[in-house]
Structure 1
Amino acid sequence: MRERGMALLTVLMLVAVMGALTATALETINRSVRMAGNSRVAMQARYYVLGAEVMALERIATLVGMAGERMPAGGWNGREFTFPTPDDTGTIRARVSDGGNCFNLNSVTDGASPTTLRARPRGIAQFSALMTTLGISDAEARRAAASLADWVDGDSSPLPLGGEDEAYMRLSPAYRTGNTLLAEVSELRAVAGITPEIYEVVRPWVCALPTTELSPINVNTLEASQAPLLTMILPGRLSPDAARQVMASRPAGGWTDVLDFWEHPALVALSPASEELDQVKLVSRWFALEVDVDLSGYTLTETALLDVSRDRARVAERRWTVEE
């Protein structure tokens, strides 16, 4: 009798253990199924983002091809387009804006390769001018601009207001300068003199184009509120009020010739240098693209910089996140 009782107890224990193992196995299977489902949704969302990217490239290439010698804003700049996914299970939102109407942080240097990058006084002066126009003190602006040039350039000799490796090696934690072009704007926060307050002020006005060219400002797509970017081109010579007057006088269809722009009464006597003349554009090359896909509760965001001309359309940069 006692042996039968022990046998029954053993069977019950085995049943309990098997039940627990079965429950664990089922939970593992369910988790795997959920993960597979999430992975499938994530992959599908990425395909939709890349599809929207291809569509944007094609549309922008067509726009640039049709623009001729000028590109008016034409209702596309900054406009958000929303449409459903092909299977109607989600939405795709895409927004394209002129990606060159900003101060190019890499323009504080000039050079063909990281080892030959050298400080560019004109770019430094333009960054400083933009900051002072935005309300940053002259001393802070000049220090921040010089420090950025030292951060990007390829030498180890600091500018009078800047700082090379030795200035950063004294910090805790210590680090070194980049000695190459900035890949994204958020890197600016590591530069000496760029306080959180300064970064917050300049962030909407700056970009990190993959080139050292001076900021290419399309005066036909430039918003009236972006008049400080005109002041930036001509440091100390064009006041913010005069820049706003220039923008207010823009023809309804945009300027048809760069010379017409420079003949504005507020500009004609300023004698811009050839580099400054070349900064003013009527056709854009850089375009900022932001795509959001919401699919079955899963959200994916891509930000991209598109490089488009009459004979080229490519993705210059891509990030799977909103720019900081």
Structure 2
Amino acid sequence: MKPQKPSERGAALLSVLLMVAVLAVIAATTLDRLSLSNRLSGNGNALAQARMFTYATEAIASARIEDLVARDAAQTTLAGDWLGKPQTIPIPIGSATASVRDAGNCFNLNSLVTETGGQYVASAAGQEQMISLMVGLGINENTARIIAAASADWADSNVMPLPNGVEDDGYRSLATPYLAANGLYAHPSELRAVNGVTPAIYAKLQDWICALPDPVLSPLNVNTLLPEQAPLLAMLFPPGKMNLTLARSYLAKRPSSGYGSLIRFWAAPEIAALQPSSLVQGQVKLTSNYFLLSTIVSFGELKLAGQSMIVASPAPARVVWRSWGEEE
């Protein structure tokens, strides 16, 4: 047998070492992927269980909302300290908290249109209330009028822009083109896509707007409207007509048992002097039908935050939309 040269032995050793290195990399990659797969599977299971707990919380909240509404069919009040109060929900593993607020006490983006013959038509009343709200929140009135028109165009069925409005052609010309929805707002965050709505303006509006499932003027319940929500009461009147200090003061004086009658609410001299229109008088309510449930479910390292819109009437109370997101 011919003896190997030292150079050949060195090459063979290098080949073996190279093969061992390749196998080590393959093994490490396989173990890493297996570990990642296990983590993803664990996270997926945790997320699924957290969602199940959220569904259970929705069922509990819906039952309690039915009881709240049935307690007094004539009015919904703050009796029972239910508005915005965090409640701990017992779950087998982890923790869950929930709170409910009156989801009708907001500016309904879908009030920017009315439904006529199966079509959505821009509503002048809805636009004026949006303008009034924005002015009350410190947004320039000219800017507010442009945004209100564009927001109505976003939801109406036609493709003809309103004065100051924007339809598809205006959005097609953007660096990242898209089209107007030409339908009801599904979620208030849609407003961010509307012409003129900057991040700064949306930040001012996001706590005051909602997207109720019906194109109706915001059904404000003056029995649950809080003094700090005075801009919502002021938005019922032309911009600047109702002083915010007056609005806060009037809401703070509300009887603890509720107004009991809309005649009683409108009869106060400071409100009567503003001469509310019949449309506005019909808009204000003593009862609530829309409720927003906010939940946080903690499960292991996962913290799932959710929101659910619950409609109380007609019974039984039901969830019409929900959204989830992992809380950091």
* TM-score in same-fold range (> 0.5): yes
Alignment of 1:275-290 (within 5 A): 275-290=279-294
Q: 1:19 to 1:73 in 2, by over 3 A?
A: same
Alignment of 1:1-324 (within 5 A): 29-74=34-79, 75-87=81-93, 90-111=94-115, 116-236=119-239, 237-309=241-313, 311-321=315-325
Q: Which runs of 5+ in 1 are unaligned?
A: none
CA contact under 8 A between 1:67 and 1:283: conserved in structure 2?
no
TM-score (norm 2): 0.87
TM-score (norm 1): 0.88
Measured after TM superposition, the shift of residue 17 of structure 1 is 8.4
CA contact under 8 A between 1:246 and 1:264: conserved in structure 2?
no
Whole-angstrom CA distance in 2 between matches of 1:320 and 1:244? 33
Letter in 1 for 2:95: T
Whole-angstrom CA distance in 1 between matches of 2:180 and 2:90? 45
SS of match in other structure, 1:163: coil
Measured after TM superposition, the shift of residue 240 of structure 1 is 1.9
Q: 1:22 to 1:244 in 2, by over 3 A?
A: closer
CA contact under 8 A between 2:227 and 2:249: conserved in structure 1?
no
| Aligned residues with identical type, % of pairs | 41
Measured after TM superposition, the shift of residue 172 of structure 1 is 1.9
Q: Which runs of 5+ in 2 are unaligned?
A: none
Measured after TM superposition, the shift of residue 187 of structure 1 is 1.3
Whole-angstrom CA distance in 1 between matches of 2:133 and 2:325? 27
Measured after TM superposition, the shift of residue 73 of structure 1 is 1.6
* Cα displacement string for residues 47-70 of structure 1 (whole angstroms, at most 9, x for unaligned residues): 111111111111111111113211
Q: 1:12 to 1:185 in 2, by over 3 A?
A: closer
CA contact under 8 A between 1:303 and 1:321: conserved in structure 2?
no
CA contact under 8 A between 2:95 and 2:297: conserved in structure 1?
yes
Q: 1:34 to 1:195 in 2, by over 3 A?
A: closer
Letter in 1 for 2:92: P
Letter in 2 for 1:188: L
* Cα displacement string for residues 251-300 of structure 1 (whole angstroms, at most 9, x for unaligned residues): 12221111111111112233323321122111111111111111111111
Whole-angstrom CA distance in 1 between matches of 2:37 and 2:247? 60
CA contact under 8 A between 2:159 and 2:168: conserved in structure 1?
yes
Measured after TM superposition, the shift of residue 238 of structure 1 is 2.6
CA contact under 8 A between 1:303 and 1:322: conserved in structure 2?
no
Measured after TM superposition, the shift of residue 309 of structure 1 is 2.1
Letter in 1 for 2:65: I
Whole-angstrom CA distance in 2 between matches of 1:13 and 1:138? 73
Q: 1:43 to 1:195 in 2, by over 3 A?
A: closer
Q: 1:18 to 1:251 in 2, by over 3 A?
A: same
Question: Which piece of structure 1 moves more, 29-38 or 211-220?
Answer: 29-38
Whole-angstrom CA distance in 2 between matches of 1:31 and 1:272? 63
Whole-angstrom CA distance in 2 between matches of 1:254 and 1:33? 55
Measured after TM superposition, the shift of residue 29 of structure 1 is 4.9
Could you say what the CA RMSD is over the residues aligned between the two structures, in angstroms?
2.8
Letter in 2 for 1:68: A
Measured after TM superposition, the shift of residue 186 of structure 1 is 1.5
Q: 1:67 to 1:94 in 2, by over 3 A?
A: same
SS of match in other structure, 2:317: strand
Measured after TM superposition, the shift of residue 96 of structure 1 is 0.8
Question: Which piece of structure 1 moves more, 32-41 or 302-311?
Answer: 32-41
